[in-house]
Chain A
Amino acid sequence: AQRVTQPEKLLSVFKGAPVELKCNYSYSGSPELFWYVQYSRQRLQLLLRHISRESIKGFTADLNKGETSFHLKKPFAQEEDSAMYYCALRHGTGTASKLTFGTGTRLQVTL
């Protein structure tokens, strides 16, 4: 069975400090991983996916199959980054493929 683990419930950093939100997964197939973000009073939305290999709002995440990790990183945190972050693993195929979510990490950026 697939599993996504986010070990930190809360990560508090100062503005301008580097951020790393940890995500580890277990899955027997070829993984497809995502980071979703939920800002205060807003719906869940996609931040980035590993297959795109892009940087969104300064965030990057690299899939490390050896360590089964997909950590989210940003070199300099901004106040507007404060939100709930969920790592998710897609399994199955086609439109019926499912997402398994980690428990989420709340990022709190303070001045």
Chain B
Amino acid sequence: GAVVSQHPSRVICKSGTSVKIECRSLDFQATTMFWYRQFPKQSLMLMATSNEGSKATYEQGVEKDKFLINHASLTLSTLTVTSAHPEDSSFYICSARDPSRRGNTEAFFGQGTRLTVV
């Protein structure tokens, strides 16, 4: 099946610093990728839709300047958490669909990135 890979899987950073999370589609090209945030024992909340070659679309309540998204190629989207604070600590997950698959409705998920801000 299609594989989506995230890096790093875990990161600890100091308050005030920025951290970048990468999401790659390994065996397919994705014009669109999705970034989710998952709090402990809660559901996945869509943060933004990453669009290759254009600006990301953010969900209501998500700060664009805080969570910078770049989708520079058909296989890579990055999420940068800027000036991180402890409340940004969370599990971040990306997903994408493979447009070459029939129906193209199944979303493939990365393994997630555990961000801890100290």
Interface residues of A (CB under 8 A from B): 9, 32, 34, 42-46, 49, 51, 86, 90, 94-104
Do B112 and A43 touch across chains, with their CB atoms under 8 A apart? yes
| Majority DSSP secondary structure for residues of B touching A | loop
* Contact residues, B95-118 vs A (CB, 8 A): 95, 97, 99, 103-107, 109-112
Say yes or no: A104-B107 contact (C-beta < 8 A), given A95-B32, A95-B97, A96-B32: no
Q: Is the Cβ of A104 less than 8 Å from the Cβ of B97?
A: no
The count of residues in chain B whose C-beta lies closer than 8 Å to any C-beta of chain A is: 24
* B46 pairs with A98, CB closer than 8 A: yes
CA distance A45 to B106 in the complex (A): 9
- In the bound assembly, the distance between CA atoms of A87 and B93 in angstroms comes to 17
Q: What total of A-B pairs shows CB separation below 8 Å?
A: 50
Give the Cβ gap from B74 to chain A, nearest Cβ, in Å.
Answer: 11
Using a CB–CB cutoff of 8 Å, the interface residues on chain B facing chain A are 30-32, 34, 41-44, 46, 49, 51, 93, 95, 97, 99, 103-107, 109-112
Chain A proximity of B42: nearest CB distance (Å): 7
Beyond A9-B41, A95-B30, A95-B32, 18 additional pairs, beta carbon < 8 A: A32-B105, A34-B105, A43-B93, A43-B110, A44-B44, A44-B95, A44-B109, A46-B106, A49-B105, A86-B43, A95-B97, A98-B34, A98-B46, A99-B34, A99-B95, A101-B43, A103-B42, A104-B42
